[in-house]
Amino acid sequence: MNTTYEQLSERFDNNDFDVINQNPEQAKRFYYVRSVSKQQQIRPLAENFGLDATLHTAEIVNEVFDSDDITVNDIKEFINQQYVLELENRELTQDELVTELSQLHSLDWGGSQADSLEKNIVHNYVDKLPRYRDICEAVEGRVFESMRGYTMTSWYNHWSSILIEDIFKQSEHITPTVGRIQKIDFFINDVPFDLKVTYFPKQYLEDCFRKLHEGSEIAQVKRQCRREHISVNPDGIPQRGLNEYLQNCLRERTRSEDAQDFIQNLDIKKRHFVEDAMQDSVSLERWLYEHQGERRFDAANRFYLILVNTNNMFESWKLKRNLDLLKTSINEKLEECIENGPDLIHFNWQNQQYTARCEILFITV
């Protein structure tokens, strides 16, 4: 007896992908139907095949899933048509979007990446400034700068992510999704993947430094700064930006041979860490699954795009708009993935074993 869409959806939400995938054909149908399960997609699909599009969205999804008259290929063809319409309605072309993104010269979360913008403002200004004049000055100065940094960085990440997703979705090897679907961004050989665009993981980097018994990266940087008489607690520099600020100070000490040697050796070590991870990508894939934040945990298949400027990791964010490099690297990786198939990862999360398909593509300069 086949499982219902609601039962499969519950297992999907609970990360029971091994159970879903026990019936490959049913699983494939479920993933494709789920990718069009939002109202904006499922109603037009129902109308195309003569189903009652006035029903509640959940009812339409069930009818589509159970229909013998709608094949998986029908759904795929519908998705491709909808994606073409989505592209036609875009205000900017890819090249025009790159031009817009290239106007941002620095990435600054305004002290609000880990905490919400509201928490940052309340904690640093509302709760600490009892005088009206002081809070007015903060609003016009530091609060405005914080809001601007947060907004501009969020804008850059949003549109650069769309740029990258489009490169994947326009590949002949990909079936795209339309709109935002949790845990599914596209299909490779009918296998769903969630795209994760990120940088070389900071904690993984720290683990590599720890194995050398030399202390954390920031501890080494602070020691060198003290030797150069550079303040390691400068006013106005948030903790998350301190490492980059101090390394920039050392890079600018061009007349200090010790400072230049330190930065050069630090960069060499980090390049070696990246090269080792690229040689053993399966270990990094497992590490990424096992070091998720608890609130965001899932065991869905993932395609990691890891951006690394090996000369200065703090500049890696600029690679998100390097269209030519992205296109070439992504298309080559997809061809390889089609030929060899994705990695099969077994990982542990809170004493429970999971299995997922995963791929990593490093974009490096």
- The pLDDT tens digits for 51-92 are 998 999 999 999 999 999 999 999 999 999 999 999 999 999
Take residue 91 and report the two structure tokens written for it: 């205000």
pLDDT at 115: 54
Q: Is residue 112 scored above 70 in pLDDT?
A: no
Helices (H), 36-71: 39-48, 57-66
Give the mean model confidence (pLDDT) for residues 295-318. 94
Stated pTM of the model: 0.91
| Structure confidence at residue 256 (pLDDT) | 94
Q: Which residues contact 165 (CB under 8 A, 6 or more apart)?
A: 185, 186, 195
pLDDT band at 149 (very low <50, low <70, confident <90, very high): confident
- Three-class secondary structure of residue 18 per DSSP: helix
pLDDT digits 0-9 by tens, 208-222: 999 998 889 999 999
The answer to whether residue 114 scores a pLDDT higher than 60 is: no
Q: Residue 117: which pLDDT band, with cuts at 50, 70 and 90?
A: confident
Domain residue spans in the chain? 1-89, 104-157, 197-364
Q: Calculate the average pLDDT of the chain.
A: 92
Q: Which amino acid is at 56?
A: H
> In one letter, which amino acid is 139?
V
Give dist(CA 26, CA 6) in Å, integer: 13
Pairwise CA distance, residues 80 & 170, whole Å? 10
Around Cβ 334, how many Cβ atoms within 10 Å? 21
Neighbours of 359 (CB within 10 A): 22
User: Cβ distance 178 to 338 under 8 Å?
Assistant: no
**Residue 353 CB: number of other CB atoms within 10 A?**
10
